[in-house]
C-alpha cells in the first residue's frame, strides 16, 4: 500500500508542477497558428492591393485623375509628416 500511495503522490506532484509548462506549450502553439493565419491574410491583402493598385494606376493615368487638393505630395512626404507628428507628440520622459 505504501508504494502505491507514494507513487500516486509523486505523479500528482509532477502533474501539478508541469501544468505551467503545458500551458506555455499550448500558448506557443496557439501563437504559431494565429501568426500563420495572420500571415495568410497579409499575403492575400498584399496581392489584392497590388492588383487594385495596377487598376488604379491605369485609370489614373488614362483619365488624368489627381489629388483633390493642389499639393504635389507623394507617400513619402505624408509618411515623413506622420513620423514628425508622432515624435513631437510623444512624451519626453524616459
* pLDDT tens-digit series, residues 35-55: 999 999 999 999 998 888 887
Closest among 56, 53, 55 to 45, alpha carbons compared = 53
Residue with cell 503522490: 9
Average pLDDT in the 51-80 region? 70
CA distances from 16 to 8, 22, 23, 29, 68 (A): 12, 10, 12, 21, 65
Query: Could you tell me the residue ranges of all domains in the chain?
Result: 2-68
Phi and psi, residue 72, nearest 5°: -100, 65
Q: How many helices (H) and strands (E) does the chain have?
A: 2, 0
Q: Select the more confidently predicted residue: 52 or 33.
A: 33
Amino acid at each position: 500500500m505504501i508504494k502505491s500511495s507514494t507513487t500516486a503522490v509523486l505523479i500528482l506532484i509532477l502533474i501539478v508542477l508541469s501544468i505551467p509548462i503545458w500551458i506555455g506549450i499550448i500558448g506557443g502553439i496557439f501563437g504559431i497558428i494565429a501568426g500563420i493565419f495572420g500571415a495568410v491574410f497579409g499575403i492575400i491583402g498584399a496581392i489584392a492591393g497590388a492588383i487594385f493598385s495596377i487598376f488604379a494606376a491605369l485609370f489614373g493615368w488614362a483619365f488624368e485623375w489627381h489629388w483633390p487638393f493642389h499639393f504635389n505630395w507623394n507617400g513619402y512626404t505624408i509618411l515623413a509628416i506622420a513620423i514628425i507628428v508622432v515624435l513631437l507628440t510623444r512624451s519626453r520622459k524616459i
